[in-house]
Amino acid sequence: MRSVYEALERSDHVVMAAPIYFYNVPAQAKAVIDRTQALWTRKYIRQDSVQQSSAMPDRKGFFIGVGATRGKRLFDGTIQTMRYFFDAIDVKYTGTLVYGEVDEKGAIREHPTAMKECFEAGLEFVGST
Ligand SMILES: Cc1cc2nc3c(=O)[nH]c(=O)nc-3n(C[C@H](O)[C@H](O)[C@H](O)COP(=O)(O)O)c2cc1C
């Protein structure tokens, strides 16, 4: 986790991109999120800064997700997780791009809007640094 903490502390922006497994991010991503409890403690218990001074003051967080089904509430739980994850690492949660019915390898490339929307969101991120 040390290198991940360092990256989270010095990044100008943070993007979490993950498929949905059992209505949340996969275990590997969730393990990282869980370990950021250390940063939550630094922020709320020790009332110390999470980010390094070299990072942007108003850094932003974005979540990109895919799932196989098309349930209306497919991403609800994960978005709630993201809210608290970004808050813990002291990043403002500013955007979500999620796509259902994405299952087969490479399927996202066939999606009518996903690639364009993610590219444009990336440009906005770069533009806002
Ligand atoms: C263990 C596992 C759990 C999954 N759980 C869900 C789920 O709860 N809801 C859903 O819509 N899709 C679910 N899926 C489908 C994946 O989100 C979908 O296939 C995705 O495109 C997989 O991305 P990946 O190939 O990068 O793992 C699951 C897939 C796996 C392997």
Per residue of the chain (129 residues), what is the pLDDT tens digit?
Answer: 999 999 999 999 999 999 999 999 999 999 999 999 999 999 999 999 999 998 888 899 999 999 999 999 999 999 999 999 999 999 999 999 999 999 999 999 999 999 999 999 999 887 854
For the record, the structure tokens of 41 come out as 């403690």
From the CA of 1, how far away is ligand 1's center (Å)?
A: 25
Single pTM value for the model: 0.94
- Specify the pLDDT at position 129: 45
From the CA of 128, how far away is ligand 1's center (Å)?
A: 32
From the CA of 67, how far away is ligand 1's center (Å)?
A: 5
From the CA of 58, how far away is ligand 1's center (Å)?
A: 33
What whole-number distance in Å separates Cα of residue 83 and Cα of residue 88? 9
What whole-number distance in Å separates Cα of residue 85 and Cα of residue 114? 24
Q: Per-domain residue ranges for the chain? A: 2-127
Three-state secondary structure call for residue 60: strand
Q: Which of 21, 72, 111 has the most ligand 1 atoms within 8 A of CB, as the residue to mutate?
A: 21
CATH number (3.90.1150.10, 3.40.50.300, 3.40.50.360, 3.40.50.2300) of 2-127 reads 3.40.50.360
Per the CB < 8 A criterion, the answer to whether 17 and 29 are in contact is no
Q: Which of 16, 22, 23, 72 has the most ligand 1 atoms within 8 A of CB, as the residue to mutate?
A: 22
Per the CB < 8 A criterion, the answer to whether 87 and 108 are in contact is no
| Torsional sign, CA 102, 92, 23, 7 | positive
Q: Which atom of ligand 1 is nearest to the CA of 105?
A: 25
- What does R_g of the chain's alpha carbons equal in angstroms? 15
From the CA of 9, how far away is ligand 1's center (Å)?
A: 30
The strands making up 60-66's β-sheet, listed across from edge to edge, are 13-19, 60-66, 92-99
What is the number of alpha carbons within 13 Å of residue 79 lying toward its C-beta?
12
- Specify the pLDDT at position 84: 98
